[in-house]
Amino acid sequence: MAGFVLVHGGSHGGWCWERLVSELEADVRAQEVVALDLIGHGARLDEKPLESICLADYVDDIAGAAAALRAEDVILVGHSLAGISLPQAAARLPDRVRRAILVSASIPAEGQSLDELMTHPQSPISLGFEPRAMFCSDLDAETADWLLSRLGPEPPGPMREPVSRGRLPASLKFSYVLLGQDRTLIPEFQRQMCRNLAIEDVVELDAGHSAMVSRPRELAEILLRYA
């Protein structure tokens, strides 16, 4: 059994995990499930001026949510933009967080910012970002409209800051869920993200970028393998 902290990506909020939360909570292996709103997102949109939010704020939010769980074993799950902050947060709690699972996550190399990473020729910015095509490639029209209507602004600061992970605890294990139909982070780009963090445990799921919405049961089954 384990507690799960689910961390959304850019312009999203904890709301994007609703279907996945239902799947996880229906299984006894998930002791607790928390879908976090990072500061400046979701219900916390107006908590702090967007221009003053920094990468450390995200790390603090994730680590704080993990520390607050009753479960002794915690698994962090991060989607997309969460890749810039999840490893650092996991490293703060080596006795509690035993695994971090990154779902089609952007993972800059050490010392690189997300903005710099997005100059990669296979990045979503280089390929031409269009939200409906990239976020909703395997969603029906009604679900796509729902998702797009919930998107919010993204604080610019964390994307500009170079990532500094330092020496990660040897006990901390990383896994990556590679989404085979993803049009935001295409599969080859995701493989490069795995190399940036030397992740060897890679599980493939035939889904688009919003797998927690389009394939919640299948994604839950993958996550629960580690509980």
> pLDDT tens for residues 65-76?
999 999 999 999
Q: Domain of residue 102: give its range.
A: 2-173+184-213
- Please check whether residue 76 lies inside any domain of the structure: yes
Rg of the chain, C-alpha, whole Å: 16
* pLDDT at site 89: 98
Judge whether residue 30 has pLDDT over 90: yes
Indicate the pLDDT class of residue 121, thresholds 50, 70 and 90.
confident
Indicate the pLDDT class of residue 88, thresholds 50, 70 and 90.
very high
Q: How many other CB atoms are found less than 10 A from the CB of residue 64?
A: 14
Q: What is the DSSP string of the chain?
A: -EEEEEE--TT--GGGGHHHHHHHHTSTTEEEEEEE--TTSGGGTTSS-GGG--HHHHHHHHHHHHHH-S-SSEEEEEEGGGGGTHHHHHHH-TTTEEEEEEES---PPTT--HHHHTTSTTSHHHH---HHHHH-TTS-HHHHHHHHHH-----SHHHHSPP---S--TT-EEEEEEETT-SSS-HHHHHHHHHHTT--EEEEE---TTHHHHSHHHHHHHHHTT-
Read off the pLDDT of each residue in 32-41 and give the average, rounded to a whole number.
99
- Please check whether residue 220 lies inside any domain of the structure: no
Task: Residue 142: give its domain's CATH number.
Answer: 3.40.50.1820
Judge whether residue 220 has pLDDT over 90: yes
- Please check whether residue 223 lies inside any domain of the structure: no
- Please check whether residue 178 lies inside any domain of the structure: no
Average confidence score pLDDT of the chain = 96
- Split into its structural domains, the chain has a count of 1
Q: How far out from the chain centre does Cα 174 lie? A: 13
- Please check whether residue 136 lies inside any domain of the structure: yes
- Please check whether residue 28 lies inside any domain of the structure: yes
Task: Please give the backbone phi and psi of residue 211, each rounded to the nearest 5 degrees, phi first.
Answer: -60, -30
- Please check whether residue 219 lies inside any domain of the structure: no
- Site of tokens 């997102």: 41
Cβ atoms 77, 151 nearer than 8 A? no
Judge whether residue 185 has pLDDT over 90: yes
- Please check whether residue 99 lies inside any domain of the structure: yes
Residue 224 tokens, joined: 């629960």
- Count of alpha carbons within 13 Å of 49, Cβ hemisphere only? 2
